[in-house]
Chain A
Amino acid sequence: MRRKSSYDFYLILATALVLFAISAISIYGMFYFKFAQIQQMAPAIKFSYMERMNAFITPFIIILILLLGICVPKRLLPTVWLNRGTVLLVGTAVLTAQLADIKTSLLVILSASLFLQVIVLILALAGSKNLNFHKKGYWVRLGSSLVHLGFILLVLDLLLYKKEVLHLFLFWITTGASVAGMFFCFYAEFVVGFITGKKNSSSEINT
């Protein structure tokens, strides 16, 4: 039990570090944009700036997706299997990046995460007790599953931005999943109260 909690804790710390790195790159991008006067440059230079920034941020997005790739199955698998699965996922990602390219590697990780997250969502919907969540409560778990599904779909959607119709369609699904997820997760007590007519539900207290 303690081991699971510490696993969660280090995952959260790692996520925080990656998010900090993404923040730092964003700030660098802002200052570069201003001082290099990108807005006044020819489209080709603007494009090369965007490409360079994309190259900077891609490794961190991959790490974030990998962390999510670990985060999602941790709800389903015991720690030993989780470690094996993680090694397999990282191995597949590296191999795909070598054999094809980084984008394909990202697509593989995203597809695996998406598949697992859909299973988690179905189990959460069914009220399965076998899922390992940090928090208890049906709606909190369902909400958390939807938020994570929304994030995976968002990154997948950004990769598919050239397919205009699919891109927007997927975007609205992402928005719907994220909004519903946040609402269930943050306001689980209200949702239960609304559905059952009871004012308080101890199982959904989200503190």
Chain B
Amino acid sequence: MEKVLPGMLSFKTFSQSGTFLLTVLLIAAGIISFPAVLNLASSSPRYQRSSTVLLVVINLLFAAGFLWICWFHLQIYMKLPLEVPENLMIWINQQLTMMNKGSSYGLPLLDAAAPPRYKIPVWIENEKYFFWFMCYGVMALMVHLRLQSHRFRAILHIFLALQIFILYIWADPFTSPLPQFFTEIAPWFAPGQSIMAKAGYFMRLYPKMIFYYNAEYMWFHPPLLFVSYGAITIIFITSVFMLVKRELVIEKVGYDYAKLGFFMLTLGMLLGYPWALKAWGPNWWWDPKICSSLMMWAVFSTYLHTRLYANKKFMWYFTSFLGILCFLAMIFTFLTSFYFPGEHTFQ
């Protein structure tokens, strides 16, 4: 695709700098996991100050990577407009006017002075993992500063290191940025096409641009869910600790993140609904992803309800079990997009 979009975007600069940043992140994750393993095995705290410094460094690296992704998206916005020749624009606008007549949500007509541009959110394709793990990194730092338990901190650090490892090995957003998006748009920018081929490509790209890449809901629905995923990971860790020891301070941390996670999850799911109506119409019910999201929300609601009675011994353990189940439901819901067909599929 770099050959198809020559000189339009600085792929090389973005990829090389991003990969370097990700490598430094991986090294930092490797370093932080050593004291974490030691602390897990030891009865007394070790290397606590250095772990705090490393955790701050990891968060700064995440922030730098996120800004780097934002910069790349700005380049896409500025340098890749879908410019349509004037004679073709008249024909396309006629087609769009006809299409809009039979639809509740129409596509905007083209304006020669302002060609349509991609306003891509910074959490699509592999970037979503970067954003999700970055959210967890921030939460891990906040919990680390709040709780002194060295074993609890160790688990937080191990989870963070694991996520960075996954990012480096399977979900690198820098080496080959946005492969699906660039594969989709590359034919449009290929030189020497007939006007009819150009019209065909445009009619394929434009609706997806409006209803997916540039959809306003894209800026709220996915990031709210990723913030909740980060919070659910914290709930999982606190729930595992609650099974081992009845410590109120840890339970309180779990509940604080449960409140945040539930708030974000519910709002995120609700905001997905009008978007679904707009993009797919009302016939999306019982889509596998919707089913699994409902299941996760139901488990999460149950966790919050049973937590009201966590002062009873049975309910304390039952709530912890539900916290763990909630995390498993989240993983299941996320993987649904890979293994189940439907509107949310990544297949």
Residue of A at shortest CB range from B263? A182
Q: In the complex, what residue of chain A is closest to B104 when comparing beta carbons? A: A164
Query: Is B283 an interface position by the 8 A CB rule?
Result: yes
A207 to B311, CA, bound (A): 11
Interface stretch of the complex, out of A28-36, A84-92, A108-116, A123-131: A28-36
Instruction: Tell me how many residue pairs across A and B have CB atoms closer than 8 Å.
Output: 94
B288 A171 Cβ-Cβ under 8 A: no
Contact B270 A12 (CB under 8 A): no
CB atoms of A20 and B309 under 8 A apart: no
Considering only residues 96-112 of chain B, those with a C-beta below 8 Å from chain A are: 104
B282 touches A39 (CB 8 A): no
CB pair A34–B274 under 8 Å, yes or no, is no
Contact with B along A21-43 (1 / 0, CB 8 A): 01100110110011001010001
Chain A residues contacting B283 (CB-CB under 8 Å) are 43, 46, 50
Residues of B contacting A183 with CB < 8 Å? Answer: 263
Segment 33-63 of A: residues with Cβ below 8 Å from B: 33-34, 37, 39, 43, 46, 49-50, 53-54
Determine the distance from Cα of A50 to Cα of B341 in the docked complex, in whole angstroms: 15
In-complex Cβ contact of B273 among A12, A20, A171 (8 A): A171
Query: Is B274 touching A168 in the complex (CB atoms < 8 A)?
Result: yes
Q: Which of B201-255 contact A (CB under 8 A)?
A: 252, 255
Q: Is A15 in contact with chain B by the CB < 8 A criterion? A: yes
Q: Which residue of A lies closest to B282 (CB)?
A: A161
| Chain A residues closer than 8 Å to B267, beta-carbon distance | 175, 178-179, 182
* Docked complex Cα distance between A50 and B287 (Å): 9
A126-172 residues with Cβ-Cβ distance < 8 A to B are: 134, 161, 164, 168, 171
Which listed segment binds A: B127-135, B163-171, B296-304? B296-304
Do residues B294 and A12 form an inter-chain contact, with CB atoms below 8 A? no
State A9–B274 Cα separation when bound (angstroms). Answer: 35
Bin chain A's interface residue count: 35 or more
Q: Is A95 an interface residue (CB 8 A)?
A: no
B interface residue count range (under 10 / 10 to 19 / 20 to 34 / 35 or more): 35 or more
Which partner residue on chain B sits nearest A206 by CB separation?
B259
Are A49 and B286 interface neighbours, CB within 8 A? yes
Chain A nearest CB from B216 CB (Å) reads 14
Contacts of A182 in B (CB 8 A): 259, 262-263, 266-267
Given B277, B288, B308, which contacts A30 in the complex, CB threshold below 8 Å? B288
Please, how many angstroms separate the alpha-carbon atoms of A34 and B282 in the complex? 20
Q: Is B280's beta carbon under 8 Å from chain A? A: no
Q: How far is the CB of A138 from chain B (nearest CB, A)?
A: 18
Which residues does chain B contribute within 8 Å of A15, judged by CB atoms? Answer: 302, 305
| Separation of A9 and B311 alpha carbons in the complex (Å) | 12
Residue B340 is within 8 A (CB to CB) of chain A in the complex: yes
- Cβ of A23 and Cβ of B288 under 8 Å apart? no
Q: Which of A16, A39, A53 makes the CB contact (< 8 A) with B341?
A: A39
B291 touches A16 (CB 8 A): no
Write the nearest CB–CB distance from A140 to chain B, whole angstroms.
Answer: 12
A19 at the interface (CB under 8 A from B): yes
Instruction: Give the CA-CA distance A5 to B93 in the complex, in Å.
Output: 65
Closest beta carbon of chain A to B110's beta carbon, Å:
28
Tell me the bound Cα distance from A183 to B264 in angstroms: 11
- Contact at B308–A12, with CB atoms within 8 Å? yes
Note all chain B residues with C-beta closer than 8 A to A43: 283
User: Quick check: is B295 within 8 A (CB to CB) of the other chain?
Assistant: yes
The answer to whether A33 and B286 touch (CB under 8 A), given A16-B302, A134-B308, A182-B262, is yes
A40 to chain B, nearest CB (A): 8
The reply on B342 being an interface residue by CB < 8 A is yes
Complex alpha-carbon distance, A19 and B104, angstroms: 35
Q: Out of A16, A164, A186, A187, which one reaches B305, CB within 8 Å?
A: A16
Contact B301 A19 (CB under 8 A): yes
Q: Which one of B266, B287, B298 contacts A23 once the chains associate, using CB atoms below 8 Å?
A: B298
Tell me the bound Cα distance from A30 to B340 in angstroms: 7
In this complex, what residue of B is CB-closest to A162? B282
Flag whether B149 is at the interface (Cβ < 8 A). no
**Residues of the A chain whose Cβ atoms lie less than 8 Å from the Cβ of B301:** 19
Shortest C-beta distance, A175 to chain B (Å), equals 5
Is B282 within 8 A of A27, CB to CB? no
Cα(A34)–Cα(B336), bound, Å:
10
Besides A161-B282, A182-B259, A182-B267, 12 new A-B residue pairs in contact (Cβ under 8 A), listed by A number: A12-B305, A12-B306, A12-B308, A23-B294, A23-B295, A26-B295, A33-B286, A34-B288, A34-B339, A54-B285, A179-B263, A179-B270
The 29 listed contacts between A and B (C-beta, < 8 Å) are A9-B309, A15-B302, A23-B298, A23-B299, A26-B294, A26-B295, A27-B291, A29-B291, A30-B291, A30-B292, A33-B286, A33-B291, A33-B340, A33-B342, A34-B288, A34-B340, A34-B341, A37-B341, A39-B342, A43-B283, A46-B283, A50-B286, A54-B285, A161-B282, A164-B104, A175-B270, A178-B270, A179-B263, A179-B270
6 interchain residue pairs of minimum CB distance? A26-B291, A186-B259, A23-B295, A19-B298, A30-B288, A26-B295
